[in-house]
Amino acid sequence: MIFNQVTIKFFLNTKPVTIRAPAGLPLVELLRDYFHLTGTKKGCGSGQCGACTVLLDGEPVPSCLVPAVQVSGKQVVTIEHLENQENLHPLQQAFIETGAVQCGFCTPGMILSALALLKRNPQPSVELIKEAMAGNLCRCTGYKKIAQGIRKAGEMIHEQD
Amino acid sequence: MNRINIQRVENLADIDTFIDEVKQPLVFLAGGTDLMVYCRRGDNPAPTWIDISFLKPLTEITDTGDTISIGALATPRQLHESALIQKYVPALAKAAGLIGSPLIRNRATIGGNLGNASPAGDTIPPLFVHRAKVNTHYKSQSKTLEINNLFAGPGQTVLRPGELITSIDVEKEPHIIGSFLKLGQRKSLQIAKVSIAVALILDHDIVKDIRIALGAVGPTVFRAYRTEALLQGKILHAKLLKKAQKEILKECNPIDDIRSTADYRREMVPILLERILQDEILHRFTNF
């Protein structure tokens, strides 16, 4: 499919950016191919696996289903945003400590969904974690350590404050 | 080579301008959770996509006094979390929380779910049982349809190209209770093999004004009118339920398809009826 080219102005990891791209280009491709931010992964391409999760105005979305033109004026946060800070984010630290990362492919999506969850609910129960993370699939870990990592991160954040 | 032009509109009048200028088939782009999937698959529904996602008034859920007005761009997440929807359109609040996944629920829209017109669409049976009215806009004209009259067949609405669903109205019924159940392959990210919605009013233990709608077991969602008539004005007990289960089976017309078989669907429809009446209504909404 060939889409019309449009100029898109939005905020990428809090920085204002302007880019010219096909209007219907999936956001995941805009991020990876135009901005060279390859932390966001391409998995199923149909919004089901969650590997492509980014935050759009704070909400986790499947970036493979977001047409580029629709991010106009919005805040897009990718996993690289956590890399830009001085220290590891508690989620990143907790994932390492609990062994929640194996191949790492699902991890950026997991972290961003979890980031949004912890903002809404700083100390979620395991049940709530399972519900909130239902859109992020992992073929390696069996999810248990990911849930533990999220709980641990919640506690770490709570101790910081 | 397939070319697609995405045109954003800032207001409803812009759509009318485009319909006149662009003498080509067009579709509306809201959250993109259906369109982007079709596009990736190589099935382009139309060469022009009108991006309506920036029409802010269509994102609102409001109490107009007599009705709850749901903007066509309301997301499943909004619907699930809305106190108004939980109170006045409870079957929809439940269904909205079961669509796709949390990520998809942040992007999908109720208008898109209706426009896509899948008989397995999760918002549809709830809107049937809550007797929703659908408002549309076409060439400066507004129209209202009963939800039962919106669908012509699987994947087909009666809407003309360029006719946009703008909002859905549900009359406020003070003591309404309702729920929705979906049977699928897994707990999340599942399209219904069978779905059922119920809305009713309970007068002590007498069933008043019960409405039942089934999804994925017919060419469109439909109301199980004969089953409703059996239960109307009665007290729900085991023998009556068995009768209702027999009747509802006669009302549905499932097929074999990619998701399930007609046989399995026929087995599960009566079971879902029992589950929704027992577990969802009697146990959740009453003291029984």
For residue A87, what is the DSSP state? S
Query: What per-residue confidence (pLDDT) applies to B259?
Result: 95
Q: What share of chain B has pLDDT > 70, as a percent? A: 98
Chain A touched by B37 (CB under 8 Å): yes
Average pLDDT over residues B183-208: 94
d(CA B11, CA A82) in angstroms, rounded, equals 37
3-state secondary structure A124-149: CCHHHHHHHCCCCCCCCCCCHHHHHH
Judged by CB atoms closer than 8 Å, whether chains meet at A135 and B100 is answered as yes
d(CA A136, CA B73) in angstroms, rounded, equals 24
The tokens describing A1, both together, are 């499919």
Q: What are chain A's domains?
A: 5-81 (3.10.20.30), 90-160 (1.10.150.120)
Contact at 8 Å (CB) between B93 and B70? no
Judged by CB atoms closer than 8 Å, whether chains meet at A135 and B49 is answered as no
pLDDT digits (tens, 9 = 90+) for A115-124: 999 999 999 9
Q: What share of chain B has pLDDT > 90, as a percent? A: 89
Q: A74 pLDDT band (50/70/90 cuts)?
A: very high
Helix (H) / strand (E) containing B110: helix B110-116
Name chain B contacts of A70, Cβ cutoff 8 Å: 32, 51, 53
- Domain spans in chain B, listed from the N-terminal domain onward: 5-51, 58-171, 177-284
* Amino acid, single-letter form, for residue A94: A
Name chain B contacts of A67, Cβ cutoff 8 Å: 6, 29, 32, 36, 51
For residue A67, what is the DSSP state? B
Cα separations in angstroms, A90 against A72, B201, B266, B270, B273:
30, 49, 50, 49, 46
Is pLDDT at A85 greater than 80 in this prediction?
A: no
pLDDT digits (tens, 9 = 90+) for B238-271: 999 999 999 999 999 999 999 999 999 999 999 9
> Could you tell me which chain B residue has the CA closest to the CA of A129?
B102
Burial B13-41 (b: 16+ CB within 10 A, else e): eebbebbeebeeebbbbbbbbbbbbebbe
Q: Which of residues 111-150 of A touch B (CB under 8 A)?
A: 113, 131-136
The tokens describing B31, both together, are 């959250």
Chain A touched by B8 (CB under 8 Å): yes
Average pLDDT over residues B159-164: 94
The tokens describing A63, both together, are 């970036």
Chain A touched by B33 (CB under 8 Å): yes
Is pLDDT at B216 greater than 70 in this prediction?
A: yes
Domain B58-171 has CATH 2.60.40.10: no
Q: How many other CB atoms sit within 10 Å of the CB of residue B185?
A: 11
Q: B282 pLDDT band (50/70/90 cuts)?
A: confident
d(CA B158, CA B145) in angstroms, rounded, equals 10
Judged by CB atoms closer than 8 Å, whether chains meet at B104 and A132 is answered as no
d(CA A45, CA A65) in angstroms, rounded, equals 8
User: Which residue, chain included where needed, has tokens 């599960």?
Assistant: B268
For residue A157, what is the DSSP state? H
d(CA A125, CA A130) in angstroms, rounded, equals 9
Name chain B contacts of A65, Cβ cutoff 8 Å: 31-33, 36-37, 104, 107
pLDDT digits (tens, 9 = 90+) for B106-154: 999 999 999 999 999 999 999 999 999 999 999 999 999 999 999 999 9
Q: Which of B2, B6, B100 sits opposite A23 (nearest CB)?
A: B6
pLDDT digits (tens, 9 = 90+) for A23-67: 999 999 999 999 999 999 999 999 999 999 999 999 999 999 999
Q: B205 pLDDT band (50/70/90 cuts)?
A: confident
Q: Which of A2, A45, A135 sits opposite B1 (nearest CB)?
A: A2
Query: What per-residue confidence (pLDDT) applies to B288?
Result: 52
Radius of gyration of chain B (CA): 19
> Could you tell me which chain A residue has the CA closest to the CA of B31?
A66
Residue B42, CB half-sphere, CA atoms under 13 Å: how many?
A: 1
Query: What per-residue confidence (pLDDT) applies to B286?
Result: 67
Distance in Å, alpha carbon of B9 to nearest chain A alpha carbon: 12
The tokens describing B217, both together, are 């077991």
For B177-284, the fitting CATH number among 3.40.50.10490, 3.20.20.150, 3.40.50.300, 3.30.390.50 is 3.30.390.50
Chain B touched by A6 (CB under 8 Å): yes
Query: What per-residue confidence (pLDDT) applies to B118?
Result: 97
Query: What per-residue confidence (pLDDT) applies to B235?
Result: 92
Q: What share of chain A has pLDDT > 90, as a percent? A: 94
Residues composing chain B? 288
Name chain B contacts of A66, Cβ cutoff 8 Å: 32, 36, 107
Query: What per-residue confidence (pLDDT) applies to B262?
Result: 97
Question: What is the number of CB-based contacts under 8 A between chain A and chain B?
Answer: 97
Q: B195 pLDDT band (50/70/90 cuts)?
A: very high
Average pLDDT over residues B19-38: 92
d(CA B216, CA B209) in angstroms, rounded, equals 24
Distance in Å, alpha carbon of B254 to nearest chain A alpha carbon: 26
d(CA B31, CA B190) in angstroms, rounded, equals 18
Query: What per-residue confidence (pLDDT) applies to A12?
Result: 98
For residue A100, what is the DSSP state? -
The angle at the Cα of A28, spanning B18 to A132, to the nearest 5 degrees, equals 105
Chain A touched by B116 (CB under 8 Å): no
Name chain B contacts of A118, Cβ cutoff 8 Å: none
Chain A touched by B187 (CB under 8 Å): yes
Judged by CB atoms closer than 8 Å, whether chains meet at B102 and A3 is answered as no
pLDDT digits (tens, 9 = 90+) for B31-73: 999 999 999 999 988 999 999 999 999 999 999 999 999 999 9
Contact at 8 Å (CB) between B21 and B44? no
Is pLDDT at B219 greater than 70 in this prediction?
A: yes
Mention every residue, 6+ apart, whose C-beta is less than 8 A from residue B19. Answer: B26, B139, B161, B162
Torsional sign, CA A81, A137, B108, A19: positive
User: Which residue, chain included where needed, has tokens 């802010």?
Assistant: B56
Taking the model in full, what pTM does it have?
A: 0.96
Q: What share of chain A has pLDDT > 70, as a percent? A: 99
Point out which residues pair with B64 in neighbouring strands: none
The tokens describing B107, both together, are 């992007």
Query: What per-residue confidence (pLDDT) applies to A84?
Result: 66
Contact at 8 Å (CB) between B91 and B221? no
Is pLDDT at A134 greater than 90 in this prediction?
A: yes
Chain A touched by B186 (CB under 8 Å): no
Name chain A contacts of B100, Cβ cutoff 8 Å: 47, 135
Please name which of B121, B49, B106, B52 lies closest in space to residue B75, comparing C-alpha atoms. Answer: B106
